Amino acid sequence: MKFSLGFVLAISLAGLQFLAILIVVSTSYLTSEKAMLQHARDRLAEAGANASEHSSGFLKPAREVAELSQRVIESGIVGTNDFPQLENFLFQTLQTETQISGIYFGDEAGNFTYVMRSDDGPGPFRTKIIRPGLRAQSADLIWRNADFSTVETLVDPNDSFDPRTRPWYESAKLNRSTVWTDPYVFFSSRQLGISVAVPVVFDNAIKGVIGVDIEISTISNFLSELELSTHGSALILDGAGNVIAHPRMAQMIEGDTDSAPDLVGIEDIDDPVAQAAFNQSGSDGLIKVERETQSEFEYENDKYVSLLKPLSETELPWTIAVYAPEKDFTQSIKNNRTRNIWLAALVSFLAALAGLALAELILRPVRAFAVRTALVSQGEVPDTAPLPETYKELEKANETLIDQIAQRRNADARILELNRDLSHFSRVNLMGQMATGLAHELSQPLTAISQNVDAAITTAKQHKDINPDLLNILTELDDQAHRGGDILRALRGFIRKDQGEKKPFDVNELVKQTQSLLHHEALEQKVTLRFDVNQMPLVTGNRIQIAQVLINLVRNAIEAITEADSPVKEVAIMAREQPNHLEIWVEDTGPGISPDVTLFKQFETSKKDGMGLGLSICRTIAEANGGRLWYDQDHKEGSRFCLSLPI
């Protein structure tokens, strides 16, 4: 199937555009998906580092405050038995760091000085001093303003608190170094918290322990204020998998506020996303990581990224967990990508339109040119008519075409003429040849008739009573037989005289014309005609008669190939120059000559409709032109007829 140039151009342009968009869009989609996930991970890692750093930054001052107080007490600047001075010092220290809820010093004698922030008392700060050596099981409570002025004082006669039994005291004493406690319930506030405790040592003996409290709710508040991403959160887990801090603090504390609150695991907090993110991390609920680990998960059709990271720069065995929907980090990029894809589609659509317009622009002169060429070739427009405005290449093609058309017409006319001459000659020649054959065949019976009639007349004349009419009839018969013989002789003489006009001619040209004449016939039978005739010297002879011979030989070859349905279908005409003459070979890939046929003999044919005269006429023609026609017996595979003509 053939397509028009316009169709091919339009389809190619649109197809190429489509392909280009498809490749760009799909590769950019795939790569951007990966890049966006990486981007989300990077942003989350940043957020995780940020949260971890801030959390450490939040906890570290408590330790610094405790250690500073230790140095101050150990240096003797503040005396451990000067309770007003100690209280004042602790009060000052508490005010330096807002996240600290309380600071205290307990000693080996069970004395305890504790300064804390107080939300529900008569003043914003409250001091508790326990001195078992002075009064057993009672505590002095003092509420103060920020300027240390006293708001109210009270004696609690039933305070059995003993610092030496508290976890922070025991742990610091045991380790003789700074320690962080596990989360526990503060004695006074009943709030969950952690403490950092530092031993105070005099002369290598533990004198007491400084403690600093941080309420866990303070860490949660801090986490909720930490801006990770639009929908992201962070939480802190202790070594046992308990949630230490979560932005929604209230949900973490189970039970009513009067009893001691318990720590809860992730599965107990009302945060399904956090559960989806971290619940599966440890089989026994323990979540502890040595180094930063990232993962992805899906919750309600949204992709999330999560990160677990040990809390940096503290001795606390805590893990900070951060999670956020991927879209928090990638939504703007995704929007941008969608916009870009639409933009690319629009641009390529416009480009395709422009391409089609361009194709039309390019094609218009080509079409006009094609129409004009068709009209010129049909003779409806003279080839001198001006060419439509067009391209240089077309102008050149036009000139070549006009030239070719003209040449084809000189050539077609000649072939037509040759064809006419040939068919006329063929008829004349065939009749002549038939007449020759007939004359030859008839002359014998005529002679026999004539001789027998002569004998009959002689016999009749010997009988006297012969009927004169019979004698007349016999005499008339004899005359007619003689007349018939005369006519046949005259006919043979006439045919022998008709040898046609002989002139030098170009075999090369004649062979080409033969090809043109037989082109369609060969094409119909799918036979290839091959001509291997280079520049040859002129030969002398009757051009039309020689054409008749060539056509007859080639036609016989085509018929033989077709009849036998040879696998290779080819007829070749070749010319070889010999001393004084030229040899023309007609070879074919047919079955060769049937053994039943005697070549060049009149009326010998193997064909149903054949007359068996072609070859004998051809030989007569060849000889009449001073040449020869023979079959090459030595040739193997197919047939080879050879015609020689004088140069």
614 near ligand ADP, rule: CB under 6 A: yes
Considering only the stretches 66-74, 254-262, 395-403, 599-607, report the one whose residues sit in contact with ligand ADP under the rule CB under 6 A.
599-607
Q: Which residues does 453 contact at the CB level (< 8 Å), separation at least 6?
A: 474, 477, 478, 481
Q: Which is nearer to ligand ADP, 189 or 552 (CB)?
A: 552
478 near ligand ADP, rule: CB under 6 A: no
6 near ligand ADP, rule: CB under 6 A: no
Residue 571 backbone zone (phi > 0: left; psi -120 to 50: alpha; other: beta): beta
529 near ligand ADP, rule: CB under 6 A: no
Residue 607 beta carbon to ligand ADP: minimum distance, rounded to whole angstroms: 4
Q: Which residues does 371 contact at the CB level (< 8 Å), separation at least 6?
A: none
Considering only the stretches 242-250, 259-267, 394-402, 596-604, report the one whose residues sit in contact with ligand ADP under the rule CB under 6 A.
596-604
Name the residue with tokens 């990638």. 330
Q: Tell which one of 398, 450, 556, 644 touches ligand ADP (CB under 6 A).
A: 556
Q: Write the CA distances from 526 to 516, 518, 568, integer angstroms.
A: 15, 12, 10
633 near ligand ADP, rule: CB under 6 A: no
From CA 575, how far away is CA 585, in angstroms rounded?
6
Considering only the stretches 110-118, 169-177, 201-209, 592-600, report the one whose residues sit in contact with ligand ADP under the rule CB under 6 A.
592-600
Residue 399 beta carbon to ligand ADP: minimum distance, rounded to whole angstroms: 44
CB atoms within 10 A of CB 77: 10
356 near ligand ADP, rule: CB under 6 A: no
Q: Tell which one of 285, 610, 626, 646 touches ligand ADP (CB under 6 A).
A: 610
Reduce the DSSP state of residue 403 to 3 states and report it. Answer: helix
Q: Which is nearer to ligand ADP, 364 or 555 (CB)?
A: 555
Q: For residues 258-317, which are near ligand ADP according to CB under 6 A?
A: none
Q: Which residues does 157 contact at the CB level (< 8 Å), separation at least 6?
A: 137, 138
Per-residue burial over 223-245, b if 16 or more Cβ lie within 10 Å, else e, is beebebbeebbbbbbbebbbbbb
Which two tokens mark 325?
């929907």
Considering only the stretches 18-26, 411-419, 527-535, 611-619, report the one whose residues sit in contact with ligand ADP under the rule CB under 6 A.
611-619
607 near ligand ADP, rule: CB under 6 A: yes
Q: Which residues does 79 contact at the CB level (< 8 Å), separation at least 6?
A: 85, 86
612 near ligand ADP, rule: CB under 6 A: yes
Residue 229 backbone zone (phi > 0: left; psi -120 to 50: alpha; other: beta): beta
Q: Which is nearer to ligand ADP, 83 or 585 (CB)?
A: 585
Q: Which is nearer to ligand ADP, 181 or 639 (CB)?
A: 639
Torsion sign, CA atoms 129, 131, 134, 137: positive
Which two tokens mark 149?
């002025």
Residue 424 beta carbon to ligand ADP: minimum distance, rounded to whole angstroms: 19
Residue 15 beta carbon to ligand ADP: minimum distance, rounded to whole angstroms: 52
Residue 474 beta carbon to ligand ADP: minimum distance, rounded to whole angstroms: 42
437 near ligand ADP, rule: CB under 6 A: no
Q: Which is nearer to ligand ADP, 223 or 613 (CB)?
A: 613
604 near ligand ADP, rule: CB under 6 A: yes
Residue nearest to ligand ADP (CB): 614
Residue 555 beta carbon to ligand ADP: minimum distance, rounded to whole angstroms: 8
574 near ligand ADP, rule: CB under 6 A: no
Q: Tell which one of 59, 588, 589, 642 touches ligand ADP (CB under 6 A).
A: 588
From CA 254, how far away is CA 250, in angstroms rounded?
9
Considering only the stretches 69-77, 276-284, 524-532, 552-560, report the one whose residues sit in contact with ligand ADP under the rule CB under 6 A.
552-560
The strand order across the sheet containing 233-237 reads 243-245, 233-237, 319-325, 302-310, 293-299
CB 377 within 8 A of CB 405: yes
Q: Which is nearer to ligand ADP, 441 or 479 (CB)?
A: 441
Q: Which is nearer to ligand ADP, 506 or 604 (CB)?
A: 604
Q: How many Å from the N-terminal Cα to the C-terminal Cα in the chain? A: 49
Residue 615 beta carbon to ligand ADP: minimum distance, rounded to whole angstroms: 3
From CA 614, how far away is CA 624, in angstroms rounded?
15
Residue 593 beta carbon to ligand ADP: minimum distance, rounded to whole angstroms: 5
Q: Tell which one of 212, 615, 621, 642 touches ligand ADP (CB under 6 A).
A: 615
Per-residue burial over 433-453, b if 16 or more Cβ lie within 10 Å, else e, is bebbeebeebeeebeebbeeb
User: How many residues of this chain interact with ligand ADP, rule: CB under 6 A?
Assistant: 20
Q: Which is nearer to ligand ADP, 2 or 608 (CB)?
A: 608
639 near ligand ADP, rule: CB under 6 A: yes
How far is C-alpha 177 from the geometric centre of its chain's CA atoms? Answer: 68
Q: Which is nearer to ligand ADP, 137 or 606 (CB)?
A: 606
597 near ligand ADP, rule: CB under 6 A: yes
Angle between helices 543-564 and 614-624 (to 10 degrees): 150
CB atoms within 10 A of CB 626: 14
Residue 10 beta carbon to ligand ADP: minimum distance, rounded to whole angstroms: 52
137 near ligand ADP, rule: CB under 6 A: no
How far is C-alpha 149 from the geometric centre of its chain's CA atoms? Answer: 82
From CA 644, how far away is CA 627, in angstroms rounded?
5
How far is C-alpha 367 from the geometric centre of its chain's CA atoms? Answer: 34
Residue 642 beta carbon to ligand ADP: minimum distance, rounded to whole angstroms: 12
Reduce the DSSP state of residue 463 to 3 states and report it. Answer: coil
Residue 554 beta carbon to ligand ADP: minimum distance, rounded to whole angstroms: 9
Q: Which is nearer to ligand ADP, 123 or 610 (CB)?
A: 610
Q: Tell which one of 405, 605, 630, 647 touches ligand ADP (CB under 6 A).
A: 605
Mask for 27-66, x = binds ligand ADP (CB under 6 A): ----------------------------------------
Residue 633 beta carbon to ligand ADP: minimum distance, rounded to whole angstroms: 13
Q: What is the DSSP secondary-structure string of 441-459?
A: HHHHHHHHHHHHHHHHHHH
- Residue from 314, 50, 73 nearest 178 by CA: 314
Q: Which is nearer to ligand ADP, 258 or 609 (CB)?
A: 609
Q: Which is nearer to ligand ADP, 101 or 433 (CB)?
A: 433
Q: Tell which one of 52, 590, 619, 621 touches ligand ADP (CB under 6 A).
A: 590
H or E segment and range at residue 436: helix 392-461
**Burial of 311 from C-beta contacts in 10 A (0-12 / 13-18 / 19+):** buried
Q: Write the CA distances from 352 to 18, 23, 561, integer angstroms.
A: 9, 16, 54
Contact residues toward ligand ADP (CB under 6 A) are: 556-557, 560, 588, 590, 593-594, 597, 599, 604-607, 610-615, 639
